């Protein structure tokens, strides 16, 4: 059996079965999703993290590229109770270490009790506990990855849907899932995907109907350029955001964010709409949240489990954001109408501006 060691913050080392060789380090987190492992593994929001699957069997329906959310696997390493050969071979081809035959119930309990933590991984024929501990020693806290956006963003502007007749969207790519672009294209939008550090001039060149801040990994406070874009355009251009995007918008408009103990990662997070009283099930993947929206924003939806903000709207600005992933993939698809709301907001602003005011 190939040796595999997982060194946890504090020095405890767990031994498992190696399924894909290599060494790695990152923030140890878990997801409760029992389907959608392909989508999770290709989600850029897992950059610089080690992903633990709480569901015991991962890979029971194979690996299909059409389900990918990006062109590569993003977690630094993967832990599971059992990985099928298909998933193990895929991870090995991606150079991502993988370990199974672990008591993932214990790992998840540790994370819930102690919070997301640093860890080191070593997998191979001749690795030792010391190799995993060495990786742990080199592991940085998530907030210390000050330019993590550069690892997940496009390098230059990419345009999709040029023949579409709907609204023009400037999507600031802080680690956007492909399904966000697909959801906008399905609604006839023209989507300009901009780098995470796009300038004011880059956005002005698009002349968008809506400025959209994507999901992504890391501490929202480190996305200084995206924050400045929201500050610059919010008075004249509708603004939308998903996940990290909600946090960035809050930071830009006087709110504050904070790191959660272990975050929300899974496909069964219940969200309550405060106006309608309706509860929807959502897909989520985040370790930070809005602590205080500030005076320019109001919380419109909350997480049923812990009351953290899940939806935020502007008070005097055209702003709509969601902490969860309304594009789903993996599902549920309860909240796909978010994209309709975003584009309707943009259309209403454009229509209002086109009609001259009465003298």
> Is 184 annotated as belonging to a binding site?
no
Cis peptide, bond prior to residue 34, ω within 30 of zero: no
Report the C-alpha gap between 280 and 249 in whole angstroms: 23
CB atoms within 10 A of CB 183: 22
Query: Any idea which residue has 């998903």 for tokens?
Result: 242
In the set 3, 174, 243, 296, the catalytic residue is 243
In the set 192, 264, 286, 325, the catalytic residue is 325
> Is 287 annotated as belonging to a binding site?
yes
Would you say how long the chain is, in residues? 359
> Is 218 annotated as belonging to a binding site?
yes
> Is 216 annotated as belonging to a binding site?
yes
Report the C-alpha gap between 234 and 251 in whole angstroms: 13
Phi and psi, residue 241, nearest 5°: -160, 150
What lies within 8 Å, CB to CB, of 61 at 6+ separation is 35
Question: Is 325 assigned a catalytic role?
Answer: yes
In the set 9, 82, 310, 327, the catalytic residue is 327
Question: Is 74 assigned a catalytic role?
Answer: no
Question: Is 174 assigned a catalytic role?
Answer: no
Phi and psi, residue 198, nearest 5°: -60, 145
Query: Any idea which residue has 């500030």 for tokens?
Result: 294
Report the C-alpha gap between 288 and 259 in whole angstroms: 4
> Is 247 annotated as belonging to a binding site?
yes
> Is 49 annotated as belonging to a binding site?
no
Active-site amino acid positions: 243, 325, 327
Residue numbering of the annotated binding site: 45, 216, 218, 244, 247, 285, 287-288
Query: Which residues does the annotation place in the binding site for L-glutamine?
Result: 45, 216, 218, 244, 247, 285, 287-288
């Amino acid at each position: 059996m190939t040796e595999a060691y997982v060194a946890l913050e504090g020095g405890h080392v767990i031994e498992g079965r190696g399924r894909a060789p290599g060494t790695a380090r990152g923030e140890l987190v878990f997801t409760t999703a029992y389907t959608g492992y392909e989508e999770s593994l290709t989600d850029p929001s897992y950059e610089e993290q080690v992903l633990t699957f709480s569901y015991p069997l991962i890979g029971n329906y194979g690996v299909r590229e059409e389900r990918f959310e990006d062109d590569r696997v993003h977690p630094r390493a993967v832990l599971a109770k059992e990985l099928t050969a298909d998933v193990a071979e895929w991870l090995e081809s991606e150079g991502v270490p993988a370990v199974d035959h672990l008591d993932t119930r214990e790992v998840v309990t540790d994370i819930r009790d102690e919070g997301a933590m640093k860890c080191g991984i070593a997998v191979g024929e001749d690795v030792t506990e010391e190799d995993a501990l060495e990786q742990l020693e080199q592991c940085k806290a998530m907030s210390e990855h000050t330019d993590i956006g550069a690892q997940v963003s496009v390098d230059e502007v990419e345009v999709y849907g040029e023949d579409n007749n709907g609204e023009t969207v400037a999507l600031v790519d802080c680690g956007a899932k492909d399904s966000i672009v697909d959801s906008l294209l399905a609604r006839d939008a023209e989507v300009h995907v901009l780098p995470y550090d796009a300038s004011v001039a880059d956005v002005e060149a698009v002349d968008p109907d809506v400025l959209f801040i994507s999901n992504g990994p890391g501490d929202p406070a480190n996305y200084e350029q995206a924050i400045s874009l929201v500050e610059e355009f919010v008075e004249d251009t509708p603004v939308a955001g998903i996940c990290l995007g909600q946090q960035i918008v809050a930071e830009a408009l006087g709110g504050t964010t904070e790191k959660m103990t272990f975050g929300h990662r899974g496909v069964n997070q219940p969200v309550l709409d405060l106006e309608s009283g309706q509860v929807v099930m959502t897909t989520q993947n985040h370790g930070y949240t809005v602590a205080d929206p500030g005076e320019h924003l109001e919380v419109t939806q909350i997480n049923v489990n812990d009351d953290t903000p899940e939806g935020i709207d502007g008070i005097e600005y055209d702003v709509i954001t969601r902490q969860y992933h309304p594009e789903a993939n993996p599902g549920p698809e309860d909240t796909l109408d978010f994209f309709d709301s975003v584009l309707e907001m943009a259309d209403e602003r454009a229509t209002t501006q086109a009609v001259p005011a009465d003298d």
